[in-house]
């Protein structure tokens, strides 16, 4: 079959060496670029005639992302929770909750946090003064000569100094960041990145790759003690679809493409990647690779590591790290894709990624289930995983989240919608339920009609084994939509003296329920120790695997009277993480390590593991210009930099004395 690589790239093409298939030639002897196909000229021409494909993707946010997104928190500028006449509402036309008043949610906030929200408090104002930049003048001079787009404005620098952790947002609101980037640069292509990284390396300027800025691990937060000039490399202008190979069902995108843009472009062609992390409205392909992201539909499509065929990464040593061949599997390890994935911006810049695509499913149907208690729900999830019959997504929420989710309904009485439908259909089963224990699972089925029907029948049959029963597609769909809206609550809460954040882990099946119980107990005990009375700790099981599951916790408390609420939050979260690890959980299932989990990294990967990572780091980035300071602790990075400068000066001495010897000779 002829390979049908179609390049959607307006850049001039180099001629092919003639001995490689289109899109697969990266050999040093061959000047062909991806997509220099000989065979598929007809197909390529057809598509290239369509101007939509020969230009950059119209992305969700522009160069000045602050025109569309909030600079001080999560999401679109016009989307937020607010209060009117003592009732909480939601505004913003991007979500189905638009314009809804939420009286039951208002009551829930009161019952949980003993808080009546009477008025809207003003959002933070953009500061007028910013930390003074550290300027490496020769670098800036040479950069200007390259004609790469850049900015040294305080606003552009400030909005890229942080991710979305509670810590970051709290400090941002109080304008307490001492160190922010000194310059922002927007490359437009892989070649631009090669030039920029070489320049930064020559001038010893720190480079922090910045995608969607949705990190919840502190991974893009500037290291506060960095003395060198910090350049944020904003990938947002690198968002082209470079080529599509319909025969292999593979696509190549530049790494700055945002999740929702990527899916929209592919869906126009009847295709999907199917990777949907809850942040996919704003996070980027490069960010997913750099953090080893996981999407809610991984059961059908896989996590990012299953979707990636090939990655190109520009490193400081001049090497471009990538796998030559695009065969589906190779037996010549280590697999460098896996060195890149999870490197969190510390080894180089991901510029292009080849992903698997699939035809759009004909049917997409939601469902939901109710279980008498969390334990029954976990057993159901375990059985579904054991039989490997997971639908595209299945998520189990505990009683706390189930109740909260129901209160986010704008209409009728508390729990009314769901309970009415349950009563009608399952009146006998319903009688045995305890409202303070019941929990729910949301389901998403994708495939053709026949497959979906078969999956539904099997899932509902398994649910019955664990006293679960269907509660309707509407509740399932709401559950998934709410995922995107719930992300906005944190900023509203922060303005009302409530600090909240989520953290996650993965755990073997035989420890799953125990871990959930232990972590909740630990958080309760930590709160009691600090006389915190108004708090929430809740969990859900979001991903299932053969050997275990991913568990997601939400924790928040009212901090009235607490001097440093974020420090208190972090102490409790640290206790929770210790408990997670002691209960057999992992350091992270998908949020990554960043800075906030770096204290546990070495124990997790072992001393040899961390030495191996450092060896790769020294090889690829000898001057440590990718110095975001992730994975290892600040002390470890400091020790590493002392060691390498000692080595460099001893190397210098050796070089000097050997040249002296040579000179004498
Ligand atoms: C509300 C919310 C929901 C979330 N849900 C999920 C979820 O369901 N699943 C999940 O996996 N994560 C989730 N996250 C975490 C976050 O969205 C992911 O880690 C995501 O992959 C980060 O992508 P980004 O483009 O925003 O990267 P950024 O936040 O910009 O950067 C993250 C890290 O990747 C590096 N990086 C970014 N781009 C590149 C590049 N091109 N080359 C090299 N390094 C790069 C950065 O230097 C940094 O170290 C969520 C976060 C939030 C706030």
Q: ipTM of this predicted complex? A: 1.00
Choose the final residue of a domain: 173, 206, 237: 237
Ligand 1 atom with the shortest distance to the CA of 164 = 53
Q: Note whether 7 and 151 are same-domain residues.
A: no
pLDDT band at 416 (very low <50, low <70, confident <90, very high): low
State if residue 377 touches ligand 1 by the CB under 6 angstroms criterion.
Answer: no
State if residue 303 touches ligand 1 by the CB under 6 angstroms criterion.
Answer: no
In a mutational test of the pocket of ligand 1, which residue from 214, 222, 553 has the highest number of ligand atoms less than 8 Å from its CB? 214
Per residue in 76-114, pLDDT tens?
Answer: 999 999 999 999 999 988 998 888 999 999 999 999 999
Q: Judge whether 563 lies within some domain.
A: yes
Q: Judge whether 318 lies within some domain.
A: no
Q: Note whether 540 and 398 are same-domain residues.
A: yes
Q: How many domains does the chain have?
A: 3
Q: Judge whether 503 lies within some domain.
A: yes
Least confident interval from 185-194, 257-266, 430-439, 456-465: 430-439
Task: Give residues with Cβ within 8 angstroms of 180, minimum separation 6.
Answer: 130, 131, 157, 158, 160, 161, 222, 230
Q: Note whether 47 and 154 are same-domain residues.
A: no
CATH number at residue 189: 3.30.43.10
Choose the final residue of a domain: 578, 596, 614: 596
Choose the final residue of a domain: 191, 206, 237: 237
Give the per-residue pLDDT at 319.
80
Q: Judge whether 70 lies within some domain.
A: no
Q: Which two tokens stand for residue 303?
A: 């996590």
Helix axes 103-113, 399-407, angle to 10 degrees: 140
Task: Identify whether the C-beta of residue 483 lies closer than 8 Å to the C-beta of residue 280.
Answer: no
Per residue in 554-602, pLDDT tens?
Answer: 999 999 999 999 999 999 999 999 999 999 999 999 999 999 999 999 9
Q: What is the mean pLDDT of residues 195-204?
A: 98
Give the per-residue pLDDT at 415.
52
CA distances from 448 to 32, 134, 362, 456 (A): 39, 57, 5, 12
Q: Judge whether 633 lies within some domain.
A: no
Q: What is the mean pLDDT of residues 463-479?
A: 92
Residue 215 CA to ligand 1 center (angstroms) comes to: 4
The pLDDT of residue 18 is above 80: no
Q: Judge whether 392 lies within some domain.
A: yes
State if residue 73 touches ligand 1 by the CB under 6 angstroms criterion.
Answer: no
Give the per-residue pLDDT at 488.
96
Q: Note whether 51 and 155 are same-domain residues.
A: no
Whole-angstrom Cα distance, residue 6 to residue 242? Answer: 8
In the chain, pLDDT over 90 holds for what percent of residues?
74
Q: Going by CA atoms, what residue is nearest to atom 36 of ligand 1?
A: 287
Q: Note whether 152 and 33 are same-domain residues.
A: no
Q: Judge whether 415 lies within some domain.
A: yes
Q: Which residue bears the tokens 């909740």?
A: 520
Residue 75 CA to ligand 1 center (angstroms) comes to: 14
Flag whether 282 is marked binding. yes
Flag whether 214 is marked binding. yes
Give the per-residue pLDDT at 275.
98
State if residue 273 touches ligand 1 by the CB under 6 angstroms criterion.
Answer: no
Q: Note whether 382 and 523 are same-domain residues.
A: yes
Q: Which residue did the predictor score with more confidence, 468 or 411?
A: 468
Per residue in 486-543, pLDDT tens?
Answer: 999 999 999 999 999 999 999 999 999 999 999 999 999 999 999 999 999 999 999 9
Q: Note whether 399 and 496 are same-domain residues.
A: yes
What is the domain extent for residue 4?
1-55
Whole-angstrom Cα distance, residue 582 to residue 603? Answer: 12
Q: Strand order in 439-447's β-sheet? A: 469-470, 363-371, 439-447, 393-397, 535-544, 548-558, 498-508
The pLDDT of residue 665 is above 60: no
Q: Judge whether 460 lies within some domain.
A: yes
Per residue in 281-337, pLDDT tens?
Answer: 999 999 999 999 999 999 999 999 999 999 999 999 988 878 778 888 889 888 889
Least confident interval from 28-42, 255-269, 282-296, 642-656: 28-42
Q: Note whether 47 and 141 are same-domain residues.
A: no
The pLDDT of residue 624 is above 90: yes
* DSSP string across 316-346: TTS-EE--S---S--SSSS-HHHHHTT-TTS
pLDDT band at 417 (very low <50, low <70, confident <90, very high): low
With 0-12 CB in 10 A as exposed, 13-18 as middle and 19+ as buried, what is 96? middle
The pLDDT of residue 42 is above 90: no
With 0-12 CB in 10 A as exposed, 13-18 as middle and 19+ as buried, what is 608? exposed
Q: Note whether 158 and 34 are same-domain residues.
A: no
The pLDDT of residue 25 is above 70: no
Give the per-residue pLDDT at 332.
86
The pLDDT of residue 9 is above 50: no
Q: Note whether 390 and 517 are same-domain residues.
A: yes
State if residue 349 touches ligand 1 by the CB under 6 angstroms criterion.
Answer: yes
State if residue 630 touches ligand 1 by the CB under 6 angstroms criterion.
Answer: yes
Residue 404 CA to ligand 1 center (angstroms) comes to: 27
CATH number at residue 559: 3.30.300.330
Q: Which residues are catalytic?
A: 552
3-state secondary structure of 496: coil
Q: Going by CA atoms, what residue is nearest to atom 5 of ligand 1?
A: 278
């Amino acid at each position: 079959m002829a390979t049908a690589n179609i390049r959607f790239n307006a850049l001039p093409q180099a001629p092919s060496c003639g001995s490689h298939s289109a899109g697969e030639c990266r050999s040093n002897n061959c000047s062909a670029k991806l997509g220099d196909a000989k065979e598929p000229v007809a197909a390529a021409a057809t598509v290239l005639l369509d101007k939509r494909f020969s230009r950059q993707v119209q992305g969700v946010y522009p160069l000045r992302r602050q025109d569309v997104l909030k600079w001080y928190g999560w999401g679109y500028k016009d989307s937020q929770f607010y209060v009117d006449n003592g009732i909480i509402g939601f505004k913003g036309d991007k979500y189905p909750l638009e314009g809804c008043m939420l009286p039951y949610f208002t009551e829930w906030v009161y019952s949980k946090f003993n808080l009546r929200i009477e008025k809207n408090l003003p959002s933070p104002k953009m500061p007028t003064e910013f930390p003074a930049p550290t300027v490496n003048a020769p670098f800036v001079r040479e950069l200007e000569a390259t004609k790469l787009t850049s900015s040294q404005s305080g606003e552009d620098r400030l909005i890229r100094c942080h991710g979305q952790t509670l810590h970051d947002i709290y400090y941002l609101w109080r304008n307490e960041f001492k160190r922010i980037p000194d310059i922002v640069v927007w490359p437009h292509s892989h070649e631009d990145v090669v030039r920029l990284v070489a320049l930064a390396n020559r001038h010893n300027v720190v480079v922090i790759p910045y995608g969607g800025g949705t990190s919840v691990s502190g991974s893009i937060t500037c290291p506060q003690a960095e003395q060198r000039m910090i350049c944020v490399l904003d990938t947002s202008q690198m968002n082209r679809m470079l080529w599509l190979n319909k025969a292999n069902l593979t696509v190549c995108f530049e790494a700055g493409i945002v999740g929702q843009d990527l899916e929209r472009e592919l869906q126009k062609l009847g295709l999907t990647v199917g990777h949907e992390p809850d942040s996919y409205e704003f996070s980027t392909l490069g960010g997913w690779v750099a953090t080893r992201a996981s999407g809610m539909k991984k059961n059908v499509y896989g996590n990012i590591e299953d979707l990636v065929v090939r990655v190109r990464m520009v490193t400081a040593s001049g090497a471009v790290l990538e796998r030559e061949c695009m065969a589906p599997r190779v037996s010549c390890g280590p697999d460098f894709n896996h060195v890149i994935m999870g490197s969190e911006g510390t080894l180089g810049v991901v510029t292009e990624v080849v992903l698997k695509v699939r035809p759009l499913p004909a049917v997409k149907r939601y469902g939901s289930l109710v279980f008498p208690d969390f334990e029954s729900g976990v057993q159901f999830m375990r059985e579904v995983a054991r039989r490997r019959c997971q639908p595209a997504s299945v998520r189990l929420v505990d009683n706390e989240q189930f109740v909260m989710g129901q209160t986010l309904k704008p209409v009728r009485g508390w729990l009314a919608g769901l309970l009415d439908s349950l009563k009608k259909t399952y009146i006998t089963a319903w009688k045995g339920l305890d409202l303070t224990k019941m929990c729910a699972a949301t389901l998403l089925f994708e495939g053709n009609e026949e497959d979906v029907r078969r999956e539904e029948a099997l899932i509902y049959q398994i649910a019955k084994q664990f006293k679960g029963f269907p509660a309707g597609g509407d509740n399932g769909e709401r559950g998934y939509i709410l995922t995107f809206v719930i992300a906005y609550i944190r900023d509203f809460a922060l303005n009302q003296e409530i600090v909240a954040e989520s953290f996650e882990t993965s755990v073997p099946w035989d420890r799953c329920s125990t871990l959930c119980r232990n972590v909740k107990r630990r958080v309760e005990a930590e709160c009691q120790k600090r006389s915190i009375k108004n708090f929430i700790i809740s969990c859900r099981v979001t991903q299932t695997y053969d050997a275990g599951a991913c568990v997601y916790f939400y924790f928040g408390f009212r901090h009235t009277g607490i001097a440093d609420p974020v420090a208190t939050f972090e102490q409790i979260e640290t206790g929770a993480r210790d408990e997670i690890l002691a209960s057999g959980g992992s350091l992270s299932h998908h949020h990554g390590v960043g800075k906030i989990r770096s204290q546990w990294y070495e124990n997790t990967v072992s001393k040899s593991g961390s030495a191996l990572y450092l060896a790769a780091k020294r090889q690829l980035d000898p001057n440590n210009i990718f110095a975001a300071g992730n994975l290892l602790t600040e002390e470890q990075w400091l020790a590493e930099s002392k060691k390498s400068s000692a080595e460099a000066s001893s190397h210098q001495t050796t070089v000097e004395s050997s040249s002296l010897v040579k000179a004498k000779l």
